[in-house]
Amino acid sequence: MKHLNDFNEFKQWQDGLIKSRDPNARTIVLCGGTGCKATGSKPVAEAIREQLNSYGLADEVALRITGCHGFCEKGPLMVVQPEGVLYTGVKPEDIPEIIKETVLNKKIIERLLYIDPVTNNKITYERDVPFYNKQARMIFGDNGRIDPVKIEDYISIGGYQALAKTLAENNPDAVISMIKKSGLRGRGGGGFPTGVKWESCRKAHGNIKYVICNADEGDPGAYANRSLLEGNPHSVLEGMIIGAFTVGANVGYIYIRDEYPLAVELFINAIRQAEQCGLVGRNILGSGFDFVMNINRGGGAFVCGESSALMASLEGKIGEPRAKYIHMVERGLYERPSCLNNVETWANVPLILNKGTDWFTKIGTGDVSQNPWGGSKGTKIFSLVGKVNNTGLVEVPMGMTLREIVFGIGGGIRGGKKFKAIQTGGPSGGCIPEKLLDLPVDYDRLTQAGSMMGSGGMIVVDENTCMVDIAAYFLNFLKEESCGKCVPCREGIGRMHEILANICEGYGKDGDIELLEELAETVRDSSLCQLGATSPNPVLTTLKYFRDEYEAHIKNQKCPAGVCKALIHYKIDAQSCKGCSACLKSCPSEAIAGEKKKPHVIDPEKCIRCGVCIDTCKFDSIRIIPGRYNAAQKLKITN
Amino acid sequence: MESATLLTESPELEKVEAIIEKHHYEESALIGILQDVQKEFNYLPGTALKHIARQLAIPLNRVYNVATFYRAFTLKPRGKYTISVCLGTACHVRGGKKVVEELERRLGIKAPDTTDDRKFTLQAVNCLGACALGPVMVINGEYHSKVSPKMVEKILKSL
């Protein structure tokens, strides 16, 4: 790797790298993201190396291990280039056949192809898979084109060009005006216009300023930032260096979750490589601009996603937010002007500078030419998970409808079940019901529906998901994650959770719903930071759209979705039970009885509703019946 | 004074000292120091906390404050195997809770406790970021995807 001293040297090196990149080279692209690693992509990579060596192909066929492709559900994923043949669920024992048939003879191996769950058709090429071809993968698409540990790969697809140009032109105000015009808004969920934030930070007084990247992706159910950091760390780093130069900062921090060890490792590697090339450090490309980059690992506190809490944590303190009447861009980290953006926001910066604002503003909703809050521009990466057929990371243009995302890209609901709701925005967001499926997804419309963009979690739930349980789940999460500094959040969330938990356990009573609503309003209006202020969203949206479920729990002592253990019981369907005794043997509480080859029965008094029998039964004979067992009789006794 | 000398001479504290030195005795690196100490010992021993406070010249209660605020830290020794079951939203709606309950039943402990023989520590965690594969369970860094209550027995036996 060579040290680049000025803009021309960079340009020369980049031109060489672009030329050496042969689009028709035979390459096996293997996903090495966390999802595919979990499903076993590492032994697959070893098998490929071994086979390529034994065939003597190591020089002709390249193996590229990339970051996440997004379609984690079907991992390990492999794409054979240049044709773009997609193989899913690849195992080490498939490798000799893949090399022999597909790589050498260009033949397709049918059994490794992806099967569309909607049409049941086999699809050969990655570009034809509906999960991919309905997306707009501007940011995320590069993950499949580069090896994240090689800076050369990133530069060969145009990386660091925006930085070099910014430094050569030396006109920070022009950069700010471009970012402002592009209408880029904070991808962490707040949706604050990035250009406006940069401008304030540039104008703020002080010799020492900081740029910070928030990579503390705490929202349960969201992992887009992780995959971006693991798949294309240089794009985030480049965005940060451009931001630093623009606002006048010489020091940068990235705060990454400690639960993401691979992201930490790859980002450190990216910084080291950029330092060796002279893209981080002193006098970058001869411009006179210095930039140092630090990496901090988070301690696992959700509240540290809040900017002032994150900065406190960077200082080595506990992550308590402070009131923000003084903005962080004026007095943030160590009381100095600090410009904090999310991972995805930073990654958007080089893209906008390379492709221009006109290109960027064509994608998305609204009009941002006069007012940066006037619309939502560009794309957003969502983690589409839960009870949907195709789970994974999807990047879509702002304004795509929820229906298109869930049914077009996601392929609809698993197991032919009925869609119930989609939860967006993490614990601060809300549940959106079926009647709002045609809602175009952007910052303002999600907020109007009572939810929010958040950091991009989209959890699809079906008819077997209890909405009271979901609300209780989020409130429990928030109760544990509240830092405890202000009373409304610390006490209010706890009380709301107590009521919800009681309802789920069958102790709900008249007046609970009204009390929940009153508490929700108080917590929303009086909490110090956004964790508290948005915490009632899960309660308010489920109450707004699924009030009947709350009432069924309280008045009829029934969990209609069959989730809340106190309000359901199990029963064996005598018609379909073959009497195989598999459930009887697996039942941990010895609640199942019956003779071989005759229908078995469950004793509801002994049953702990653990679900092992449902897992075990091959004939799908165990039924979950909403309502307490013998509820009517019990009521009679107490009366 | 004598006991203090003894403490600094123990091989454990030498490791702690090396970690603090790596972080240049900086107060702002407290979280990073605690992370590294925990990595070394699998938990945060009380003597280590005292040593850190002394070496950074900060009150012990500030170290304790940080060590108990963040979820990543534990003041109790952990088992040989740390089983982390993800209860992020995606795993929750796919039945992560049932997996935790089954583990609690089989191990005879409640999350986040450790079995008496120090073999297993069970913890429920918020989102491990592998949402497409839920319910996810990680045992000492190894991922198990789409775990059902029925699979628990087999996985435990394989350890």
- Reply yes or no on whether the pLDDT at A638 is more than 60: no
At B1, the pLDDT band (50, 70, 90 cuts) reads very low
Q: Which amino acid is it at A516?
A: L
Pick the CATH number of A378-465 from 3.10.20.600, 3.30.70.260, 3.30.1360.70, 3.30.750.200: 3.10.20.600
Find the residue in A nearest to B35 (Cα).
A299
Contact list in B for residue A477 (CB cut-off 8 A) is: 126
Quote the minimal CA–CA distance from B5 to chain A in Å.
28
B133 and A302 within 8 Å at the Cβ level: the answer is no
- Residue A570: strand pairing partners: A624
Superfamily, domain A23-144: Glutaredoxin (3.40.30.10)
Residues A413 and A388: beta-carbon distance below 8 Å: yes
Token pair listed for A607: 């049953």
pLDDT value of position A634 = 47
- Reply yes or no on whether the pLDDT at B110 is more than 50: yes
Handedness of CA B103, A460, A533, B66 (dihedral sign): positive
Query: What torsion, rounded to 10 degrees, do the Cα atoms A603, A608, A613, A619 define?
Result: 50
Tell me the C-alpha to C-alpha distance, in Å, between residue A361 and each of A163, A232, A356, A535, B22: 21, 23, 9, 32, 47
pLDDT value of position A636 = 44
Mean pLDDT across the stretch B142-154? 91
Distance CA A300, CA B63 (A): 16
Find the residue in A nearest to B88 (Cα).
A220
Threshold 0.90, pTM exceeds: yes
ipTM of the complex: 0.89
pLDDT value of position A635 = 45
H or E segment and range at residue A482: none
Contact list in A for residue B130 (CB cut-off 8 A) is: 34-35, 38, 72, 223
pLDDT value of position B8 = 55
Contact list in A for residue B150 (CB cut-off 8 A) is: 586, 612, 615-616
Distance CA A379, CA A348 (A): 9
Residues A335 and A312: beta-carbon distance below 8 Å: no
Distance CA A447, CA A255 (A): 27
- Reply yes or no on whether the pLDDT at A82 is more than 50: yes
Residues A389 and A413: beta-carbon distance below 8 Å: yes
B136 and A73 within 8 Å at the Cβ level: the answer is no
Distance CA A618, CA A507 (A): 35
Give the tens place of pLDDT for each residue, A597-615: 999 999 998 999 988 899 8
Reply yes or no: is the peptide bond before residue A82 cis, omega within 30 of 0. Answer: yes
Nearest CA to A227 out of A259, A262, A188 is that of A262
Give the tens place of pLDDT for each residue, B22-65: 999 999 999 999 999 999 998 999 999 999 999 999 999 999 99
Closest residue to B28, CB basis, from A300, A315, A470: A315
Q: Which CATH class is domain A468-554?
A: mainly alpha
A296 and B31 within 8 Å at the Cβ level: the answer is yes
Q: What percent of chain A has pLDDT over 70?
A: 98
A217 and B129 within 8 Å at the Cβ level: the answer is yes
Distance CA A601, CA A147 (A): 56
Give the tens place of pLDDT for each residue, A249-274: 999 999 999 888 899 999 999 999 99
B133 and A299 within 8 Å at the Cβ level: the answer is no
**CATH architecture of the domain with range A159-374:** 3-Layer(aba) Sandwich (3.40)
pLDDT value of position B5 = 45
Quick check: helix, strand or coil at residue A483? coil
Domain boundaries, chain A: 23-144, 159-374, 378-465, 468-554, 565-638
Quote the minimal CA–CA distance from A315 to chain B in Å.
5
Distance CA B141, CA A258 (A): 12
B89 and A386 within 8 Å at the Cβ level: the answer is yes
Mean pLDDT across the stretch A167-180? 96
A391 and B132 within 8 Å at the Cβ level: the answer is yes
pLDDT value of position A489 = 95
CA A222 to chain centroid, in Å, comes to: 3
Q: Per CATH, which fold does A565-638 belong to?
A: Alpha-Beta Plaits (3.30.70)
Q: Which amino acid is it at B133?
A: L
Contact list in B for residue A467 (CB cut-off 8 A) is: none
Nearest CA to A146 out of A75, A62, A46 is that of A62
Give the tens place of pLDDT for each residue, A307-343: 999 999 999 999 999 887 889 999 999 999 999 999 9
Quick check: helix, strand or coil at residue B112? coil
pLDDT value of position A2 = 80
At B9, the pLDDT band (50, 70, 90 cuts) reads low
Mean pLDDT across the stretch A382-387? 92
- Residue B121: strand pairing partners: B82, B114
Contact list in B for residue A315 (CB cut-off 8 A) is: 28
pLDDT value of position B10 = 80
B131 and A222 within 8 Å at the Cβ level: the answer is yes
Q: Per CATH, which fold does B81-157 belong to?
A: Glutaredoxin (3.40.30)
Distance CA A341, CA A349 (A): 11
B127 and A223 within 8 Å at the Cβ level: the answer is yes
DSSP, res A218: -
